[in-house]
Amino acid sequence: MKIKDAIPPLHQEGYIFVICAAAFSLLAGAAVPTVGWIGAFITIFIACFFRDPHRITPEGDDLVVSPADGTVDKIEEALAPEELEDGKTSYKRVSIFLSVFNVHVNRIPIAGTITDLHYRKGAFLNAAHDKASIDNERQTCVVKTKSGEQVVFVQIAGWIARRIICYLNEKQTVTTGERFGIIRFGSRVDIYLPKNAEINVVEGQTMVGGETVIAQLKPKKAKTTKK
């Protein structure tokens, strides 16, 4: 294996940060070597933060994969984000907390068509707290699957994360595991699943974005007509 094959590529959003940090390290290091070494360490950290490793996504139209790396913080029933028209609909919510050491590139949890997008300004509470799902700044995305189910996934800012980036557009067709955005420097991602979905993860479990199967959607029961 070549060395370059073992180093994950850098996400496009990270180039400007790495270049600026590297330039600072070189300039500062020429005057004060100690500061230069500190700058070099920071440059490496930033490069690691914006790493964008290749992922192998499981196949299956009914499989829901994790939209982010991190740790499952909580699994519970919850109402859809209030900015959606179905704000009174109850879902199974899986919350994933991302530390500054996790990969922050976000991926589509299940194939389908993007039907709704909402960006909401808010607070910057610690993303590990439950209130972050309600109070923090967030980007809400809704995908309608091939079977007609609705899955909601939300990028949530944290007290360090101050920038949510989402490349999606309404009516866009997406595939499972496809990259759709990034959150800078510590955050949270919530995914809202239909109540009949079979959850395959537990609280405290480590997620690999685009690979770990969070749940399996069950087909809707066909309505029967009385004769």
187 is catalytic: yes
Look up residue 151 and give its two tokens: 């899955």
DSSP string for 123-152: B---TTSTTHHHHB-EEEEEEE-TTS-EEE
Pairing of strands 164-166, 198-199: unpaired
Name the residue type at position 193.
L
Cβ count within 10 A of residue 108: 25
Look up residue 80 and give its two tokens: 């859809």
Cα–Cα distance for residue pair 45/10, rounded to 1 Å: 12
Q: List the catalytic residue out of 66, 95, 133, 187.
A: 187
Look up residue 42 and give its two tokens: 């920071």
| Residues with a known catalytic role | 187
